[in-house]
Amino acid sequence: MSQVAGAGCEAASGLDLDGPLSIATNQDRCAAQSAGSDFNPAGLRVHMIGIGGCGMRGAARVLMREGARVSGSDRKESGALVLLSAQGADIRIGSKPGHVPDPCDLVVHSAAVKESDPEMVEAAHRGIKVVKYSQLLGLLMSRKLGIAVGGTHGKSTTTAMIAYVLREAGLDPSFVIGAGVEQLGGGSGVGDGEQFVVEACEYDRSFHNLRPRCAILLNVDEDHLDYYRDIKEIISSFRDFAALVPADGLLVVNGEDRNTMEAVAGAKATVETFGCQNLFDWRGEVVEVRNGSYRFRVLRKGQAIAEITPGIPGRHNVMNALAATAVCFYCGVRPDVIARALARFRGAHRRMTPRGSIGGVTVLDDYAHHPREIQATLKTVREYYNPRKLYVVFQPHQHSRTRFLLNDFASSFGSADVVIVPDIYFVRDSESERELIDSRALVDLLRLRAGDARYEPNFDSIARMVCEEAGPGDVVITMGAGNVWQVADSVLAGLAGEQKNGDPFVAMGDRADH
């Protein structure tokens, strides 16, 4: 196994994907096949730096299924890497030049890996072709019916819905999702079917390297402002993504979202809209709402074709399910099969995931790290659980995102009774950016809105605080893209110990998990 763990949004660029055709050697063949549909992994030696990331592991499995010999490295061991090794990959821990096999046809790296990485330096020294993860994903997609799910929010859930429905329909798709999905056996899978479903990340324009025949645009919001200049540049990037879908392909887009509609203006592919409020191509007509769970009628071009009750609550999941329905219908799945599968779907990991309930206190965990995601999730928690009191432990993700969207964040916790904020999760930002803002700025704004907001940097102190205050009927939710899920574990351990011993934290100590 070797160096750096893959990031959630693994990005692209660095290889001439349109190089001249040549089959003189295995290595030349690899470069030539980068032109797209000619790419054939069979017999290639591929080394993957940062192979521990969810997407990288999925790509490795696809490569091996296609006949490639895969090696890889990551900075630490994991159960997922043990499984990948058992499936045939040669995994190394740490980054060393000697980990790159000889011969080697192609080196793939996650966005987290720097050019100064010893294995990257070795690949450059030996003249080995190097690509980022998303470029490889594009090459693999070119061999199948590529389905790419893009948008600022909802990508993982919608990608998982599509993969699950296609599998339930017997189509046996391949898929790569940026989150674990228990019902799919993980965040990636390799099937013999025609479809290859992937989550399309917009950071660093990595989704421009994909080769979709069908694509979804769920929404377009301000985010990744450490990379993009403003919303205009973000819309332009999504427009370039939409332009990748060929004239005989399909774009499924959120008709309720103005930015999304602007992004697909002029697209050469067929565009089908979805939404709940107007007469879109795909319309969700809500029939019943019960404790946050929605039953809705699906109308395609005005004709009712199914009624769906998604297995996960929230109006935002009505929109996700509509988009998934349109794509699965495009793939030939009958509406009644789609409806049955979506009713059984239980969601992706860290999406309002129940972690446990002790003493009448329910503990949830969620990945939401953008204002709109927070608002949608907390509204759904209110509707579904009807808590006596809702405690939110929110860990901001990135100093730059917190600074750029500070006022939006401060307006996102209206459904919460108590908001506890640890330090900002430091990732991808510079030290100078880190010095410009801290979590107390958000807490101060929340207090100005008459909210019960508290700054507490220590994870165990947060867990102690919650355990001391929360009672039967209350809900505690940890939120963020960092390691805040550890607080959920500590709260559950604390509540369990409280019931047995009185003070659960004497044995636990005040370790600094953050």
Q: What is the pLDDT of residue 159?
A: 97
Q: Which two tokens stand for residue 333?
A: 């799945």
State whether 331 and 193 are in the same domain.
Answer: yes
Asked if the structure places residue 84 within a domain, the reply is yes
Q: How many folded domains does the chain comprise?
A: 3
DSSP label of 70: E
State whether 482 and 390 are in the same domain.
Answer: yes
Given 344, 365, 388, the domain boundary residue is 344
Looking at residues 149-164, what average pLDDT do you find? 96
Work out the pLDDT band at 284, boundaries 50, 70, 90. very high
Q: What is the pLDDT of residue 298?
A: 97
State whether 222 and 332 are in the same domain.
Answer: yes
Q: Is the pLDDT of residue 73 over 80?
A: yes
Q: Which two tokens stand for residue 97?
A: 């030049």
Q: Is the pLDDT of residue 410 over 90?
A: yes
Q: What is the pLDDT of residue 429?
A: 84
Looking at residues 100-119, what average pLDDT do you find? 93
Q: Write the DSSP assignment of 244-309 as a string of letters.
A: TS-TTSEEEEETT-HHHHHHTTT-SSEEEEEESSS--SEEEEEEEEETTEEEEEEEETTEEEEEE-
Asked if the structure places residue 3 within a domain, the reply is no
State whether 484 and 396 are in the same domain.
Answer: yes
Name the one residue in this structure whose structure tokens are 């819309």. Answer: 235
Higher pLDDT, 322 or 112: 322
* pLDDT over 70 percentage in the chain: 89
Asked if the structure places residue 232 within a domain, the reply is yes
State whether 212 and 331 are in the same domain.
Answer: yes
Asked if the structure places residue 20 within a domain, the reply is no
Q: Is the pLDDT of residue 428 over 90?
A: no
Work out the pLDDT band at 356, boundaries 50, 70, 90. very high
Q: Is the pLDDT of residue 6 over 50?
A: no
Q: What is the pLDDT of residue 248?
A: 96
Nearest 10 degrees: Cα torsion 275, 278, 283, 286: 90
Q: Where residue 268 sits, what CATH number does that domain have?
A: 3.40.1190.10
State whether 177 and 95 are in the same domain.
Answer: no
Work out the pLDDT band at 225, boundaries 50, 70, 90. confident
State whether 226 and 274 are in the same domain.
Answer: yes
Looking at residues 152-171, what average pLDDT do you find? 96
Higher pLDDT, 484 or 427: 484
Looking at residues 182-198, what average pLDDT do you find? 92
State whether 323 and 421 are in the same domain.
Answer: no
Work out the pLDDT band at 31, boundaries 50, 70, 90. very low
Q: What is the pLDDT of residue 501?
A: 53
Q: What is the pLDDT of residue 511?
A: 28
Asked if the structure places residue 165 within a domain, the reply is yes
Q: What is the pLDDT of residue 430?
A: 87
State whether 447 and 401 are in the same domain.
Answer: yes
Asked if the structure places residue 17 within a domain, the reply is no
State whether 244 and 127 are in the same domain.
Answer: no
Given 135, 165, 198, the domain boundary residue is 135
pLDDT in tens, 208-219: 999 999 999 999
Mean pLDDT lowest among 22-31, 266-275, 430-439:
22-31
State whether 44 and 155 are in the same domain.
Answer: no
Q: What is the pLDDT of residue 454?
A: 96
Looking at residues 37-57, what average pLDDT do you find? 90
pLDDT in tens, 445-497: 999 987 899 999 999 999 999 999 999 999 999 999 999 999 999 999 999 98
Q: Is the pLDDT of residue 50 over 70?
A: yes
Q: What is the pLDDT of residue 183?
A: 95
First and final C-alpha spacing in the chain:
26
What is d(CA 63, CA 45) in angstroms, rounded to the nearest whole number? 10
Average pLDDT over the chain reads 88
* pLDDT over 90 percentage in the chain: 80
Query: Which parts of 26-150 fold into alpha helices (H)?
Result: 26-33, 54-65, 79-86, 118-125, 133-141
Q: What is the pLDDT of residue 190?
A: 87
Q: Write the DSSP assignment of 309-330 as a string of letters.
A: --SS-SHHHHHHHHHHHHHHHH
Work out the pLDDT band at 499, boundaries 50, 70, 90. low
State whether 223 and 91 are in the same domain.
Answer: no
Domain containing 375 equals 353-508
Work out the pLDDT band at 500, boundaries 50, 70, 90. low
Q: Is the pLDDT of residue 353 over 70?
A: yes
Q: What is the pLDDT of residue 477?
A: 98
For residues 459 and 363, the answer to whether their CB atoms sit within 8 Å is no
For 259, phi and psi rounded to 5 degrees?
Answer: -65, -40
Q: pTM of the full predicted structure?
A: 0.86
Work out the pLDDT band at 55, boundaries 50, 70, 90. confident
Q: What is the pLDDT of residue 340?
A: 98
Q: Write the DSSP assignment of 419-480 as a string of letters.
A: EEE-PPB--S--HHHHTT--HHHHHHHHHHTT-EEEE---HHHHHHHHHHH--TT-EEEEE-
